[in-house]
Structure 1
């Protein structure tokens, strides 16, 4: 009886150790897998070229004036980060706001608005374009490992600008490096794909949420977000 009792206790100990080890391995594996899934959305080569194309267009605008108007690390009346607004007249070369746009400047505004209209609507599938300083250390210090932004007074510009942003944008920002003068554009792209392997029949002609009708079938839609950034120096090469 004593031997059987000892074997039973020994078995429980071994099972407990093995279970704990397996749980640790599983936890590590899922963390690595989640990080890898997130990483593939960062700096995808196809979107890198798209971001450089976007930056090349933005530099053709009056970015030096736009930057001077809105961005500053020291002036409390300005921000440390802004979301690009194609409708802002200061982006274009006009004598005054009342004169309006014409010719090439009007075409630039139309292209800007069409390109950045929104995910799956615009020409580039751009969801957000943020403009901030190239030295992003101040920005990163306001973020947390859990993908949040501090609510402290020094981080208010960042928390206000990114309050409705995809949490993966914060994870992406935490991977960025670089010091020195200049500015940086951070772009979030969003594309929706149809999963042909996941189909169902419509109910009263309706597919429901997250499904799209194609022919007489409803297919599940998958939304994917990608993140890229590039250094940008306005024509005036403005320094803080």
Structure 2
């Protein structure tokens, strides 16, 4: 299995052991049908995703996003989205209130994949979210199975007006014993330690990566404050808009 695919599969199965027992992949014929519907060669990673989880993502399934090959093909056949060789719907949001469906933006290929963006079914602007689908899957799995499971979380934003948040953040997090579980792009940072996890995303992959929203999670507020203090002391990053869950006294 190629590098990026094996890295993602290894991360997902570590977070959810045995998840692959529930995966159901699409057939080669179905993948060819998706490619024909897209009117564009599919990114290598998306081919892997479809062949591994195209019918069922098992416990990794998103509660309100249907990534199934059947839904993708049905939407294409029914003409629910205007034909485009640039944007292609890969995730149908099942929420009725203000759904923003998931699209590929083939004009921005990256790391054997392509940019992930969102748009309302009635039209309007696209809202870029991740540099790649594999970044989205890795970030989402860490959010669900580590951040949400932690006793204490802190959400906020990190700013570096003259540089790149991910570049500034990486050395200080490594010095604190955190390890990136997967090599993400410059618009998404992922760090794990046995007792803690930190995930970040930039406001938009289309913009300079000088602002990231972060989620830091661990056993108690004191240890989270210690990590944030080190980040502020050892980098030029500016910390803003902190929100604690549960709220601090």
TM-score, structure 1 length as denominator?
A: 0.20
The higher-RCO structure (CA 8 Å, 6+ apart) is 1
TM-score, structure 2 length as denominator?
A: 0.20
User: If each structure's helix is expressed as a fraction of its own residues, which one has the higher value?
Assistant: 1
Larger radius of gyration: 1
